[in-house]
Amino acid sequence: MRPITQDKMDKLTIFMKNNNIDLIYIADWESARDVNMRYLTGHIMDANLIITSGGETMLLPWDVDLAEDHAQVDTLVTDKDSRHNPADYVKEVAKKDNPVIGVNLGIPYRYILEIKRKIPGVKFFEEPHKLADTFRNLRATKSPQELEKLIEAGKIGNKAINDIRKFAEEKDGTENDLSFLVMKKMREYGAEENSFPSLVANVTRSHMIHCHPSAGNSKYSENGLALIDYGARIDGYVCDITIPLSFGKLTAEQEKIKKTCFKAYEEAIAAIEVGVPLWKISQAAVDVIEAAGYHMPHGLGHGLGLTVHDSPGIRQKPTEPERLEVWSEVLIEEGMVFTIEPGVYVKGLGGQRLENDVMIRNGKVEVYTNSEPIEI
C-alpha cells in the first residue's frame, strides 16, 4: 500500500495543474535513490515512476514480482526491458510533442538527456525547486499510520539502549563487537534491518562526524569520549539514535565538550513548540555551542520517515543573500517527526553527540526515543 494519503496526492496534482506540469517523472535506482517513489507507490526500490496531472501512476520496476507484492499504482509495466527505456514510456504517457515534465532536483542528469533525445519538444518545469519543496512538504508531516510505524521503530531502538549500557559497563570488547551486538539485538526486537550501519567510535574516532569505517577492531571503552549512532527500520520506517558515552576521568576540555553538547540539546528540546520556525530550534543549540567557542559542522536535525534524512531539515537560517532567496521559513506543525542531535567535536579529544527522535502528535511534543549520556 502506498504511504501517501489521497489528500496529499490531490495536493500534488493540484500543484501540477497550477503550474501546467503535464507529468512528473521519478527515478529510484542504486546510483541515486528518490524516496518519493516508495512514498507515492509503496513499491520498495529500483523503479521508474510516471505521474500524470490527472493523478494516474505508471510504474516501471526492475523486479516485477516485488512490485506485484507492494506497489499500488494504476499501471504496472511488466515488460522486462522497460527499465532500459523509461523515456519511451514518458513519451507515450505525455501524448503530445511539447509536454512540460517535472523532475526532482536529485534526478541523475542522464534521464534529462534521454528524455530530451526522445521528446525534442519537451520542456522541463522551470522552477524545479518548487517541485522539490512540494515533495518535501508532503513528506514533512506524517499520517497517523506513519506515526505508528515511526514509534514502532523508535521502540526497537530504545530496547537496545540497555544492551549498550551493559556492554559499556563491562568495559570489554571492540567497536565491532558493539556494532554486532546492536544489530543482532535490533533484529531480535523486530527490526527488518539497521536503518544505516551503526557508527561506533571510541575516543580516538568520536571527533569524526561520520566515522570511517563505521566500526573497527579497537577497544571501545578506552578512557575518554565515545559515541554510538544507530537506527532500526521496520516496514521502511526508521529511527535514529545517538548515545554519547564517557569512560574514566576526563580532561577539563573533554568535560566542557560534554556539557556544551548536553546543554545545546536541552535548549533545543525546550524550544520545540507548534508554530515555531524550525531554524529557531537550530539557533537555540548553535548559540550554546558557539558561546562555548565551538562550531557544529552539521545541521541540528533532520526529518525521519521512509528515509533516514527525510524532511524537514532543522538547520540555520542562511545568511548569504542568494541562499536566502530560495529559502523559506518552515514552522513546526502537527505530524512532523525529526531528530535533535547537537554535536561537539575536537580532533585529539573526541566528540559527543546526543540524539533523540521527536514527533508532534495531538499538538504535543513527544520525545519518543530514550537516549541519554552513559558515564562509566
Q: Which residues bind a copy of itself (CB under 8 A)?
A: 30-33, 44-46, 62-63, 65-66, 80, 84-85, 103-110, 112-113, 128, 176, 180, 183-184, 187, 192-193, 197, 207-210, 212-214, 216-217, 295, 297, 309, 320, 323, 347
**DSSP symbol at 92:** H
Minimum CB distance to a copy of itself, residue 144 (Å): 24
Minimum CB distance to a copy of itself, residue 184 (Å): 6
Minimum CB distance to a copy of itself, residue 176 (Å): 5
Cβ contact 116:110 at 8 Å:
no
Smaller CB separation from a copy of itself, 166 or 184:
184
Could you give the CA distance from residue 202 to residue 251 in angstroms, rounded to a whole number? 16
Smaller CB separation from a copy of itself, 10 or 68:
68
Smaller CB separation from a copy of itself, 33 or 155:
33
Give Cα 190 to chain centroid, integer Å.
21
For residue 27 the three cell numbers come to 527515478
Minimum CB distance to a copy of itself, residue 6 (Å): 26
Cis-peptide, bond into residue 213, ω within 30° of zero? yes
Could you give the CA distance from residue 82 to residue 360 in angstroms, rounded to a whole number? 41
Minimum CB distance to a copy of itself, residue 75 (Å): 20
Could you give the CA distance from residue 19 to residue 64 in angstroms, rounded to a whole number? 33
Smaller CB separation from a copy of itself, 86 or 269:
86
Minimum CB distance to a copy of itself, residue 182 (Å): 12
Secondary structure (DSSP) of 293-319: T----S-SEEE-SSSSSEEEEE-PPP-
Could you give the CA distance from residue 230 to residue 278 in angstroms, rounded to a whole number? 24
Smaller CB separation from a copy of itself, 28 or 332:
28
The CA R_g of the chain, rounded to the nearest whole Å, is: 22
Smaller CB separation from a copy of itself, 56 or 62:
62
- What is the sign, positive or negative, of the torsion defined by CA atoms of 293, 297, 299, 302? negative
Smaller CB separation from a copy of itself, 8 or 187:
187
Could you give the CA distance from residue 82 to residue 60 in angstroms, rounded to a whole number? 6
Minimum CB distance to a copy of itself, residue 231 (Å): 14
Q: Which phi and psi (to 5°) does residue 123 adopt?
A: -120, 135
Alpha carbons within 13 A on the beta-carbon side of 269: 17
Smaller CB separation from a copy of itself, 56 or 114:
114
Residue with cell 558561546: 291
Smaller CB separation from a copy of itself, 43 or 142:
43
Provide the phi-psi class of 246: left if phi over 0, else alpha when psi is between -120 and 50, else beta. Answer: beta
Could you give the CA distance from residue 206 to residue 204 in angstroms, rounded to a whole number? 6
Minimum CB distance to a copy of itself, residue 372 (Å): 27
Minimum CB distance to a copy of itself, residue 129 (Å): 8
